[in-house]
Every structure is written in C-alpha cells, then in structure tokens.
Structure 1
C-alpha cells in the first residue's frame, strides 16, 4: 500500500519550468550555442517545454535532441530490462553549451550514463544539468546546475513526475510506501 503526496500541481509545474527556462537564459552567455538534450523518458518532454519557454522569452529557437542511455547504465540488473528509445541528436555538439534535461535526479547514475553516451556524439564546450526534482541520495559526485525543486526524501520513497504528453496530466507526487 502507498500514499501519494502532491509536490507540484499542474500550475506549479508550469511555473517551475518557466523559472528553469529563465535561469538557463540568464546563465548562458550565448543562446546561439545553446542546445537541450532530454534524457528518455520524461526528460524529453521537459526539454521540449524548456525549449518552448526559451523561444517564448527570447524569440530564439533552441536546438533540441533526445538521448537514450539504456546501454550506458551500470545498474541494469537493479532497474530491470528496458526497451531502448531512439537517440536523436541532429546537430554538431562541438563548441555547444549542452543542457542535459531529466525529470528527477537521485543517485546520479542516469546522468553519469548520459555523459558517457554524449561522448559518443561529440565534445560540447560545456555540459550542464537541469532537473525538475532533486531528491538527494547521490551515489556519485554529480550535482545539477538548474533545479526546479529540491525535495528531501527517504530512500524507500519515490518521486513520480507525470507529464501531459506521456501521462495525460502534469504534476509531481511523492509516493510513500506504507
């Protein structure tokens, strides 16, 4: 049995994405060299939301890519078999400021795998990390540059990000196992 606690409502999630996009714009020296790459699964629509908001704020289209890290993970035995998604990086990464986008950062293993995968596609000038939720409990020395909301959690809890394009609604919930 589990209980669900709302962390971000639909409106709060939208405002959080808007703030993240503003922070990315403020801390990026040249939007001409900015690219966003969403990590499958929910990092992809989050990257799209960020790109749309940056376009709205700055009237500048940001290059957008997707990244599947399945074969770069070192913990497949603990997370189970997954069907790989399509990686699509339709631009050169050289001299770019690359923002990796994911929904939740926990141990840091997903981001380590993503950085390993990115190295197969080129060498960006800078790699930064944007996450909607930072729930702590890092196993690797990886820290996001842009955080929507930091939520202290217990290891036995889970954070569920729901996005309209995948789940039919937007919101973030903390799941406590009872």
Structure 2
C-alpha cells in the first residue's frame, strides 16, 4: 500500500515578496475604489483574516485613515460537509458589522477551484446586501470549477492537480513564505 505525502518543490514568495504583493494589492484596492470610503475588508478564516489585517495596516499607512476588518467563518456554507456530524454545533456570528450598502473586499490566501469563495459569497449575502463584492487573493493557482475571478492578485501561479500551494504566515505558522509542494508516493 502506498501513502501520499507532500514534498516542497520551491519557494514562490519569501517574506519580502509577500510584503510587496500585499502593498501592491493595497494600492490597487484604493485606486479601484477611489479611496476607502464605505469599504470593509472581510478575511476568510483563517489565513485570509491575517492577510486582511495586514492589508488594513498598509491601507492606513497610505491613506492616513483606517479601514474596517471583519472575519468570515464559512464552515456552515461549505459544500463538502455532507455528513451531519461533520457540521459544527455552534458558529460565531458571521459578521458583526453590517455589510449592506458597503463595498466588501473579500480576502483569501489561495484561490483554487472557487468553492471556498462561493461559500463566502453565500455567507455574505445571508448577512446583508453589499453595494459590491471584490475578491483579493495572495495566490491564484488556476483550476477553477466555478466562474469566479479575483479582482486583486498577489501572484498567479499555474499549477498541476498533483501540486498544492502552502501559505505560511508568521501569526500562526511562525514562518513567512509561500511554497509549492508536490505529491510523492511512499511505499509502506
């Protein structure tokens, strides 16, 4: 019997490259929205939240005013949790701030099939009617299964299905980098 493991293939972004990508995305968000008035950053748990907070810091440095940051837990909206016992018993309130009539910038670490973003869109719409929703991702790796396209991208990385992208952030991983990893077969 063979077990699947992952092996690091290469480092796509180091700490400085992540910082530059987020700074560029912050500038693009400000430019596209002609400032940050009526905007709110919404990070998809878990790494999207930390990226949203970093973007908020950069936007405040650039604009001289703060932008609201919210967390979005999409667990109850995932389409891959089909078993009732897999669903969490309790869920935090999805968004404490009202998003109706706001420009919501949804933030995630990696865009792959689009299913996470679809779940996030459902969660957002259940909590209000935003003026508009934009999507910012650190990495777009392709392989979409749904018609979802990001508005702001840190880096486009074409991948094969046998590869995965791993985003390590200092806040939770004590490491700061983005790597591409590939499956390897191991004999038991």
Distance 1:94 1:2, change over 3 A: closer
Give unpaired runs (5+ residues) of structure 2. Answer: none
Q: What count of residue pairs does the alignment treat as equivalent?
A: 177
Match of 2:61 among 39, 49, 56: 56
Give unpaired runs (5+ residues) of structure 1. Answer: none
* TM-score, structure 1 normalization: 0.93
Moved over 3 A (4+): 81-88
Contact between 1:66 and 1:87, CA under 8 Å: does it hold in 2?
A: no
RMSD across aligned positions (CA): 1.9
Shift of residue 89 of structure 1? 2.5
Distance 1:90 1:2, change over 3 A: closer
Match of 1:23 among 14, 24, 28: 28
Match of 2:49, SS state, is helix
* TM-score, structure 2 normalization: 0.88
Report the counterpart of residue 6 of structure 2 in structure 1.
Answer: 2
Which has more radius of gyration?
A: 2
**Which region of structure 1 is more displaced relative to structure 2, 90-99 or 69-78?**
69-78
C-alpha distance in 2 between matches for 1:63 and 1:88: 15
Distance 1:159 1:141, change over 3 A: same
Distance 1:175 1:82, change over 3 A: farther
C-alpha distance in 1 between matches for 2:174 and 2:93: 23
**Which region of structure 1 is more displaced relative to structure 2, 48-57 or 83-92?**
83-92
C-alpha distance in 2 between matches for 1:61 and 1:165: 21
Match of 2:71, SS state, is strand
